[in-house]
Structure 1
Amino acid sequence: MIRPLFFALAATLSLTSTVQADPRADYVDFCADCHDANRLGGTGPALIPQTLKRMRGPKVAAVIRDGRVTTQMPGFSDDLTEDRIAALADYLKTPLEAVPPWGTEQIMASRVMDDDYDSVDAPVWASDPMNITLAVETGDHSVSVLDGDTFEVLDRFATPFAVHGGPKFDPTGRFVFIMSRDGWVQKYDIWALKQVGRVRAGLNSRNIAMSGDGKWLAVANYLPNTLTILSTEDLSVAEVHDVKGKDGTPSRVSAVYQAPPRESFVLALKDVPEIWEVSYSETPNLAIFAGGLAHDWRIEGPVAQDTAFPIRKITTPDYLDDFFFDQSYEHVMGASRKGTDGLVVDLVIGQKVADLELAGMPHLGSGITWKYKDTTVMATPHLKEAVISVIDMQTWETVKTIPTEGPGFFMRSHENSKYVWADVFFGPNRDVMHIIDKETLEIVKSMRPVPGATVAHVEFTKDGSHALVSVWEDEGEVLIYNAETLEIVKRLPMRKPSGKYNVWNKITFSEGTSH
């Protein structure tokens, strides 16, 4: 009797184990209501590899098990065994079998404008509207609105899941637009301290760019391969471009930037060796705008006459997915994630004009410029090498390579500051912040304000008198420094603060901040 009973029990356990290891069924039962049956997000974020890229399997499993504090995400430790949780985490990291359409119809169907939003004639607070700073808190997907003089928190509001690419202010500094990795774009009124609305412009997105006139917002998408252009007035769709190279190859959009003097957006493409320039001028002179190369312009797809966004496609010698522009926006410095070199493209003639000595995977998107002797230099950290490259923007030659205590991610300065601040984001010295003298190009101080914690991303106040530094930890803080004495004058507790964005510095394109 014992032997048959043992085999029957073993068979039952084996069957139970098989049932328990069905992550698709568990997804339908426990996840689909919030994240949609296709894993592309609903009230909760998209659960696909592109969105979960920075969350390794064990971290995804921990969220499934324990939930997310201060969100609607519950924990499922009472419903799922550890094996089922692990299997579900692995399933969420697998690619989708098919990507559903996400064009104008789907985007507009997602748009929600807040019924309780009422416009105001003046700010509801007494602070300097040009010295407002937004601090993104990734720990619980929120943004704090800071008075740049007193550093009082004027508001703290919820954002879409996983903000990415940096918020963008309209030219007045009143409205800010925030984008998440799963394509949601949020419009927020800083004067009223209220959300205006949201729309999902893509399924997996990289960043956004504001047109110089403040009328259009361009959204760079990885999934699907599109560029979405929204009206900033009401978040309606002006146009959706399918992104394909000259030979028809589809491409993800690595990033989109605005080039105000050219009245255009400039796109970095991941999968084709091209740069795209998209005009938003109301009366574009294509021959002049394209530097005399009008034949390089083409209009992709159906375009309404009053919302025409013609495209210029520039062939490049290599794949370029990270850009930096000179102040005239006539030249773009580009590099690929191969990290072996870089180049300069003249946007006027649409050709490469110089090579750059940039080994170590430069993070050009975080580069900054300043006046140095009789020229202007650009400095960029590197993601794989413990150096900062300083480049003469007239000769495109490397002026100096500054050794650091590890690879960095962000750099910042201000016109009124004699220092450059550079973090060491990667490696064992991630708690270091280097202070570099702009004249000598030497590190004059290496600060460890919170030993063992990641210290990163600096933003200055409008006048450059104070620098805000993130302690990039879940129970983190923003440190307020006197930018002259380099002493901490205030600490603001926050949930894993990342980027900070000052209205004045951003809308005036300060030379010390990335654009």
Structure 2
Amino acid sequence: MIRRIVSCSLLALLPMAAMADPAADYADYCASCHGEDRLGGTGPALIPETLGRVRDVDRIIAEGRVSTQMAGFAGDLSPERIAALVGYLKTPLATLPDWGADQITASRSMNPDYRPADAPVFSGDPMNITLVVETGDHHVSVLDGDTFQVLDRFATPFAVHGGPKFSPDGRFVYIMSRDGWVQKYDIWSLSEVGRTRAALNSRNIAISPDGKWLAVANYLPASLTILDSRDLSPVKMIEVIARDKTPSRVSAVYQAPARDSFILALKDAPEIWEIATDPEAGPFYDGFVHNYQSGAEEALGAEKGLFARRRIVIDEPVDDFFFSPDYRELIGANRNGDKGVVVNLDVGRIIAELPLPGLPHLGSGITWERDGRRVMATPHLGEGVLSVIDMQDWSLVGQIETPGPGFFLRSHANSPYLWADVFFGPNKDQMLVIDKQSLQIVKALKPFPGQTFAHAEFTRDGSHVLVSLWEDEGAVVVYDAKTLQEVKRLPMRKPSGKYNVWNKITFEDGTSH
């Protein structure tokens, strides 16, 4: 007994760091979100390649990260154990897995039971289908936008991210997960077509204007993966390397339909890339090159052909951005910055700066006509305000004060209102209905006190609005868009984003792109 007491006393005298087991702490506190292999899951990969530019990792582990799902663990882990865990995360993996065309092809799995239908197997309007992503158990519900009947509910890859993308005819939808899986689903047949893993850690996907190509923006490897939309086979792996020869992750990729191209922003370099999706169209003709600012190592716009690349050099990286309706301008912001920038994609340079402090969430921005002028609005992740910007002279029209920071905006050409959630803070249970002309809050909907009520989506004709009770035992609540009265509740497992086919493929006014 005495020997045991002495041993325990000696252990108590050892430094806490010496007793830390960072591998065990990682397994207990990190693996469920970031993957057992540290290569990402619902959260990003935690390896030196992705942590090199992340500041204060120890503070993030202790306190969490603002405006993300990252919780703080100061109550569970001592500073010494956190320090040991940071060292563990910054230790390179013994081998960094390759992930190229061979691995993508090997991962590809097509549904042997899939049979394409000649017409929709349901009676509703296929253009008024709304997909509801249910993150509680990783499913998607297929909702009839007229009857609000659930037509199908299918399993998705783990941790869907970035918003599904529809083929131009609205028949197929492509869904991506944080760990790089891309799933194809046939809405007409209500059946999965197949899936493939395009990368190990991905941000979002885009579909080309002609529907032929899928672009997958990746953190790991630092690349843009091009897939054939028909069968999800790999077509091209574009290694993303900045002008200074350093690799860069891709923040996001979007289609630019008016330009026949993909637009992507580099996470770790002050560059925007444009990738041609049609060799005979877009801003890649020789006669257009003289409009670009050059002087870089490559003449901007000099490349031609399918998947040709054009660089646009800017002052600092942007990792959230928005487009004007004609896709001539890109409005971007850095997550750590206090302003936005307007990049004219035709001339390839910044033409204006916007006063947008408080982490503007431009990816959720929307536009509409106000007093004969086109304006855009964006929520801010760091403060309770919506900024409204005039898109002709890029002046600040005004700011709408809200009860807390929001995440998503939605409207419709047939609605006088925009709908804005209050995603963060004690007022997360409110959905704000705002007049698009007066910029005044008309009503604050609060059907579930204390619970997150977020992300609105309109039906095809704008007559109804769907909002998520963003809880595990949640629901989608249907409102009459004119009377603002509740029409129906549909139980769901932590419903998050909702995506109407028509609104997305037509780039409906009031829909984020």
Distance 1:189 1:362, change over 3 A: same
> Residue 225 of structure 2 contacts residue 238 of structure 2 at CA under 8 Å; is this kept in 1?
yes
Separation in 1, partners of 2:408, 2:289: 32
Paired residue secondary structure (2:278): coil
By how many angstroms is 1:213 displaced?
A: 0.2
**What is residue 155 of structure 1 aligned with on the other side?**
152
Distance 1:493 1:327, change over 3 A: same
By how many angstroms is 1:129 displaced?
A: 0.3
- Alignment of 1:141 with 2:138, yes or no, is yes
**What is residue 507 of structure 1 aligned with on the other side?**
505
Moved more, 290-299 or 392-401: 290-299
Query: 1:340-379 maps to which residues of 2 (within 5 A)?
Result: 340-379=338-377
**What is residue 406 of structure 2 aligned with on the other side?**
408
Distance 1:254 1:10, change over 3 A: same
> Residue 157 of structure 2 contacts residue 183 of structure 2 at CA under 8 Å; is this kept in 1?
yes
Separation in 2, partners of 1:478, 1:184: 26
| Structure 2: gaps (5+ residues) | 52-60, 62-67
Paired residue secondary structure (2:89): coil
- Alignment of 1:247 with 2:251, yes or no, is no
**What is residue 462 of structure 1 aligned with on the other side?**
460
Separation in 1, partners of 2:197, 2:398: 43
Separation in 2, partners of 1:401, 1:167: 30
By how many angstroms is 1:5 displaced?
A: 7.0
State the superposition RMSD in angstroms.
Answer: 3.3
What is the one-letter code of the residue matched to 2:377? A
**What is residue 381 of structure 1 aligned with on the other side?**
379
**What is residue 286 of structure 2 aligned with on the other side?**
287
By how many angstroms is 1:104 displaced?
A: 1.4
Moved more, 388-397 or 282-291: 282-291
**What is residue 106 of structure 1 aligned with on the other side?**
103
**What is residue 218 of structure 1 aligned with on the other side?**
215
Using structure 2 for the length normalisation, give the TM-score.
Answer: 0.85
What is the one-letter code of the residue matched to 1:297? G
**What is residue 296 of structure 1 aligned with on the other side?**
300
Distance 1:95 1:489, change over 3 A: farther
> Residue 208 of structure 1 contacts residue 217 of structure 1 at CA under 8 Å; is this kept in 2?
yes
**Cα deviation 1:474-509 (Å, max 9, x = unaligned):** 111110000000011100111111000000000000
What is the one-letter code of the residue matched to 1:249? T
Paired residue secondary structure (1:297): coil
> Residue 22 of structure 2 contacts residue 88 of structure 2 at CA under 8 Å; is this kept in 1?
no
**What is residue 203 of structure 1 aligned with on the other side?**
200
| Structure 1: gaps (5+ residues) | 62-81, 300-304
**What is residue 64 of structure 2 aligned with on the other side?**
none
Separation in 2, partners of 1:489, 1:410: 22
By how many angstroms is 1:24 displaced?
A: 4.9
Separation in 2, partners of 1:363, 1:409: 7
By how many angstroms is 1:286 displaced?
A: 2.8
Distance 1:93 1:323, change over 3 A: farther
Separation in 2, partners of 1:310, 1:162: 31
**What is residue 71 of structure 2 aligned with on the other side?**
56
> Residue 131 of structure 1 contacts residue 503 of structure 1 at CA under 8 Å; is this kept in 2?
yes
By how many angstroms is 1:308 displaced?
A: 3.4
**What is residue 120 of structure 2 aligned with on the other side?**
123
> Residue 229 of structure 1 contacts residue 237 of structure 1 at CA under 8 Å; is this kept in 2?
yes
Aligned counterpart for 1:339 among listed residues 337, 347, 350: 337
**Cα deviation 1:129-167 (Å, max 9, x = unaligned):** 000000001111110000000000001111111111000
Separation in 1, partners of 2:462, 2:326: 23
> Residue 262 of structure 1 contacts residue 289 of structure 1 at CA under 8 Å; is this kept in 2?
no
**What is residue 74 of structure 1 aligned with on the other side?**
none
By how many angstroms is 1:108 displaced?
A: 1.5
Using structure 1 for the length normalisation, give the TM-score.
Answer: 0.85
Separation in 2, partners of 1:142, 1:187: 14
By how many angstroms is 1:116 displaced?
A: 1.3
Alignment size in residue pairs: 478
By how many angstroms is 1:245 displaced?
A: 1.0
> Residue 165 of structure 2 contacts residue 205 of structure 2 at CA under 8 Å; is this kept in 1?
yes
Separation in 2, partners of 1:258, 1:165: 13
Separation in 2, partners of 1:356, 1:57: 33
Query: 1:90-105 maps to which residues of 2 (within 5 A)?
Result: 94=89, 97-98=92-93, 99-105=96-102
**What is residue 170 of structure 1 aligned with on the other side?**
167
Aligned counterpart for 1:190 among listed residues 187, 191, 198: 187
Calculate percent identity across the aligned residue pairs: 59
By how many angstroms is 1:403 displaced?
A: 0.8
Query: 1:424-503 maps to which residues of 2 (within 5 A)?
Result: 424-503=422-501
> Residue 339 of structure 1 contacts residue 362 of structure 1 at CA under 8 Å; is this kept in 2?
no
Separation in 1, partners of 2:498, 2:480: 16
Aligned counterpart for 2:316 among listed residues 301, 315, 318: 318
Aligned counterpart for 1:258 among listed residues 250, 255, 259: 255
What is the one-letter code of the residue matched to 2:300? D
What is the one-letter code of the residue matched to 1:97? P
